[in-house]
Chain A
Amino acid sequence: MTPRFAERVYRALLWLYPSEFRDRFGDELTDFFRDRLRHERIDLRFWARTVTDVVTAATHERFSRPRQPFFTPRPRDSMLTALWQDLRFSVRMLRKSPVMTTIAVAIIALGTGSVSTIFSVANAIVLRAVPGVAGSDRLAVIQRTRRDGGSLSASYPYYEHLAANSRRMSGIAAWSMIPLTMSAGSEPITALGNIVSGNYFDVIGVKPMLGRFFTGDETRVRSTYPVVVVSHGYWERHLGADSSVVGKTVLVNGSKYTVVGVTPKGFAGIFAVLRTDAWVPLMMQRELRQRGDLSSESSAWLEVFGRLAPDASRDQAQTELTSLTNQYATRATSGEVPHMKQFVAARLYNVTGLPAEASGAVLGFFALLLALSALVLLIASVNVASMLLARAVARRGEISVRLALGAGPGRLVRQLLTESSLLFLVGGAGGVFLAIGGTGLLERIHLPIDVPLALDVRPDGRVLAFTLAIALITGVVSGLAPALQASRLDLAVGLRGDTAGGGVARSRLRNGLMIGQIALSLVLLSASGLFLRALERGNHIDPGFDASHVATAEIDVGRAGYDSLRAREFYRTLKTRLSSLPGVADVAYGRTLPLSMNVSGTEISLSGYAPPRRAAGDPFDVNFNVVDDGYFSVLRTPILRGRAFTAGDGPTSSPVLVVNESFAKLLPGVEILGRTVKYNNIEARIVGVVRDSKFARLDAPAGAFIFAPAMQQTRTATNLLVRTSGDPTAIMPAIRAEVRAADPNLPAPTLTTLEDATSVALLPQRVAVAVTGVLGAAGLLLAAIGLYGVLSFAVAQRTRELGVRVALGATSGDVLRLIVGQGMRLAGTGMAIGVILALLGARLLTPFLFGVSPTDPLTFLAIGVVLTSAVLLASYLPARRASRADPVVSLRA
């Protein structure tokens, strides 16, 4: 850097000083700097010292109280006394203008309320510590992962391998979700259970409220100890909160289980978002689950988590578990070998109450919503900032008097900042109340999923602290510009009491703030518009089946003690009974419902087909469902070639399969009918091809799919599908009664319409439309109010000028056009900036849009129309007032 350039930089820095200091010492300061250039090394420290010096000296010069040399100095107020004075004065000032205070508080409450509502939900789902879990920062979910990042649950042997060999974890536990049928002397209910390893509660670090958890042989010996631990909630609801419940028996899946303990209130296991009712020991796996087996290496059904050993770090544990996973892959004996080779690492995740693989996506979605709600807060702050700016003009007289009496600019800025912070804190408190109401509304949104949620989204201390913190920060930030401007007041002008002509800089700042508000509200509206379009697009995607007029319920007779033979008989009888109900057109069963967040797959091999990068006949994964002979006709899925299943495809006839179009295309140009598929040690012949339909996701094809006939499978759980001629909800009580009549030991099924059950595929879009719709409306309202305020103020300031115009012959139409034109110019600039911001930001929404372009012209056109109308309305009102003013009166003003 040349000395000349350095000197120019320094000269620029001098602008930080107040002008009189700069005028008096500017040349000498530069001389001083030139001497330093000559004598010192010019490096980073040189510049650091320079900048520090300029900034500290300039700050002191600007904000220190002017010296009063030959008077006895008044003792300086202590910080606290000053703050107390400021606060008292602020309260007085805010109470003096109740209308402006009320409006500002309402606006801030709207802004902070929207942010903290979203934050409350995110807090409840992913941030809050799992209830009842001790030291959750030392707990970690363990997942084995493939090279491509994919992960898989654990088999029991894999879990045992980790648990037995890990030294970096003080304990590793395993669990799986398991639906149970439980009854305590009354009508059986479907309960959500967890089947857990013996050390599960120890690793979590929870203590029983009553009785004990699993011990001794219960955790080691298979199929011998039917014991159950129930949740506090279940104990209250179904066991009469009986304190002597330990030792009594309840029926679990039709068998007697002894209650050994009750968990403390609030504890819901590791996956705390769901309401867990009961815990049963892993050793009772064979009795409680139909599928899989503890010694099987190929059935991966367990979730694993552990507690870090006291001296171990997360990284050490991850390294150790990774090497154990690799060791297991080479050692594994049978089924898992080809599969296990792919798993090269173990990863640790935080315990958040959500499954590890879901929490990332959920967090992302909430970050998006949080960002959108932050925009509302931003608009609100900008809005209030321009109100404060306008008020600073009105208070010019008062401020001048205080400056003239010797108040330092620093003291004045502090006073004004105290006022705006107080305003925002009161608004923030209002925002907390709004959040309480808002989360209450959110809790009432019906989620189309058949599991009970245990989500407490009400704001807690963390939300309160968060809201007040953002209120305080936004209060200081948005009070800063108005306060600094006020402190730079020209005393001569201020004391004259002249309120006309606000100064160019001042009105430029106000206009800038207005433009910002319009731009931000356009961004918000574009988000809600795009989500609305996506929802509409999603509703019009043809899923490949007809979900209307279908009632559905999940039934598992295995949980009432049925084996597969009796289950088949039961389902056949139930079908006959239901078919004879009036209003029932058709009845079918299917193991997995499409678009219901459930997927199931299986590994198969197809003769003559080589999966990508593998040899012909090698196994590969396809989607898999077990359905009966009525399934395709109830869902109106057309059979393209061959046939659907018939009553003849029974347990004794030769195994058959139906495949979808995508599967048939695996072997192009070859007739797929009659070919053989090998899966689960069964060789089945393909007898039919059905049209593709959506399965896991609405916006992606289902891929290759095989359907197996229910009569040739041994599963006891299924979904009932009833096509009705009229409204499916009207017939639900009759269906429920028929199921109960068929076997009183079964819990009453929870019936929904298939439309509701499949609507979960559009859940993110529906939530986003609801949330962004409210946020967008709030943003638009705030921007309109802001514009109205700015123009009203401008009209008031220009009263005399407008009077002159009218006196010189301007018509009221001219005045109207002048004011509305001013509003439209601001709005136009804001909208142009907003469109650019929205186009940049809309990319973030792409994953949720079902192919609607983030630059969708229709959306932006519609938003333009809405925003322009709001702007026209907001500027018309003050313009009309101006045009009707009597020039005689306004000239005298």
Chain B
Amino acid sequence: MRPEPASFLPLRPVDFVPLLSLVDAEQHGYALAREIADRTEGVVQLGAGNLYRVIKRLLEDGLVAQAARRALPEDDDERRVYYRITPLGARVAALEAQRLRTLLASKSVRSLAPLVDHA
């Protein structure tokens, strides 16, 4: 049975952000953790163990897959396992993005804006 992408919604942020990070490029573990931290402005900082718990879950759900092991760009000797987003993962992420967009477009979100301190 093929799982329905909509059945994954709403996606938890800790699953959504890694999926987004894999949309543009395949990543290895450490780079993925850095990317997640950047995208969330440091709010989500995953250590190795907790990152791989997420990866394990995403693998089991078929949202990401292992890419081939390959060399690090900065060092030819070291090789790393890279992860890529699956077509299912991409559809789930897209649906989640759509859901969030709808949510954020509401008037009440706009009226909350002044409360955020831009200074």
Closest to B3 in A: A70
How many of B's residues come within 8 Å of A, CB to CB?
A: 23
* A53:B48 contact, CB within 8 angstroms: yes
* A32:B51 contact, CB within 8 angstroms: yes
How many of A's residues come within 8 Å of B, CB to CB?
A: 26
**Cβ of A654 to closest chain B Cβ, rounded Å:** 95
* B52:A29 contact, CB within 8 angstroms: yes
* B51:A67 contact, CB within 8 angstroms: no
- List the B side residues contacting A29 at CB < 8 Å: 29, 48-49, 52
**Cα–Cα, bound, A60→B50 (Å):** 9
> Main secondary structure on chain B at its contact with chain A?
helix
1/0 per residue, CB under 8 A from A, across B1-43: the answer is: 1010000000000000000000000001111010000000000
- List the A side residues contacting B61 at CB < 8 Å: 69
The 8 Å CB contact of B47, one of A31, A34, A50, is: A50
* A70:B60 contact, CB within 8 angstroms: no
* B56:A25 contact, CB within 8 angstroms: yes
- List the A side residues contacting B70 at CB < 8 Å: none
The 8 Å CB contact of A33, one of B28, B48, B55, is: B48
B107 at the A/B interface (Cβ < 8 Å)? Answer: no
Task: Pick from B1, B31, B53 the residue with the most CB of A within 10 Å.
Answer: B53
**Cα–Cα, bound, A61→B53 (Å):** 8
Closest to B55 in A: A25
The 8 Å CB contact of B49, one of A35, A57, A70, is: A57
1/0 per residue, CB under 8 A from A, across B46-77: the answer is: 11111111011100110000000000000000
A-B contact count (CB 8 A): 65
* B56:A69 contact, CB within 8 angstroms: no
Closest to A20 in B: B56
* B81:A31 contact, CB within 8 angstroms: yes
Closest to A59 in B: B49
* A32:B3 contact, CB within 8 angstroms: no
- List the A side residues contacting B53 at CB < 8 Å: 57, 60-61
1/0 per residue, CB under 8 A from B, across A319-362: the answer is: 00000000000000000000000000000000000000000000
- List the A side residues contacting B60 at CB < 8 Å: 67, 69
1/0 per residue, CB under 8 A from A, across B91-117: the answer is: 000000000000000000000000000
**Cα–Cα, bound, A35→B75 (Å):** 11
- List the B side residues contacting A54 at CB < 8 Å: 47, 49
1/0 per residue, CB under 8 A from B, across A48-82: the answer is: 01101110111011000001011000000000000
Closest to A70 in B: B3
* B33:A32 contact, CB within 8 angstroms: yes
- List the A side residues contacting B81 at CB < 8 Å: 28, 31
Known: A28-B81, A32-B29, A36-B30. A56 touches B49 (CB 8 A): yes
* A57:B29 contact, CB within 8 angstroms: no
**Cα–Cα, bound, A24→B47 (Å):** 17
Closest to A33 in B: B48
**Cβ of B53 to closest chain A Cβ, rounded Å:** 5
A21 at the A/B interface (Cβ < 8 Å)? Answer: yes
**Cβ of A9 to closest chain B Cβ, rounded Å:** 14
- List the A side residues contacting B50 at CB < 8 Å: 53, 56-57, 60
The 8 Å CB contact of A35, one of B1, B29, B57, is: B29
**Cα–Cα, bound, A111→B33 (Å):** 52
Task: Pick from A35, A61, A69 the residue with the most CB of B within 10 Å.
Answer: A35
The 8 Å CB contact of A25, one of B3, B52, B57, is: B52
- List the B side residues contacting A61 at CB < 8 Å: 49, 53
A115-162: which have CB < 8 Å to B?
none
**Cα–Cα, bound, A50→B47 (Å):** 7
A201 at the A/B interface (Cβ < 8 Å)? Answer: no
- List the B side residues contacting A49 at CB < 8 Å: 47
**Cβ of B4 to closest chain A Cβ, rounded Å:** 10
A758-788: which have CB < 8 Å to B?
none
**Cα–Cα, bound, A60→B61 (Å):** 18
**Cα–Cα, bound, A54→B52 (Å):** 11
**Cα–Cα, bound, A455→B30 (Å):** 68
**Cα–Cα, bound, A10→B16 (Å):** 29
**Cα–Cα, bound, A94→B62 (Å):** 45
A271 at the A/B interface (Cβ < 8 Å)? Answer: no
- List the B side residues contacting A69 at CB < 8 Å: 60-61
- List the A side residues contacting B30 at CB < 8 Å: 31-32, 35-36, 39
- 25 example contacts (A-B, Cβ-Cβ < 8 A) are as follows A17-B49, A21-B56, A25-B55, A28-B52, A28-B80, A29-B29, A29-B49, A29-B52, A31-B78, A32-B33, A33-B48, A35-B30, A35-B31, A36-B30, A39-B30, A52-B47, A53-B48, A53-B50, A54-B47, A58-B49, A60-B53, A61-B49, A67-B57, A69-B60, A69-B61
- List the B side residues contacting A58 at CB < 8 Å: 49
* B1:A70 contact, CB within 8 angstroms: yes
* A32:B1 contact, CB within 8 angstroms: no
**Cα–Cα, bound, A32→B54 (Å):** 14
- List the B side residues contacting A24 at CB < 8 Å: 56
A1-55: which have CB < 8 Å to B?
17, 21, 24-25, 28-29, 31-36, 39, 49-50, 52-54
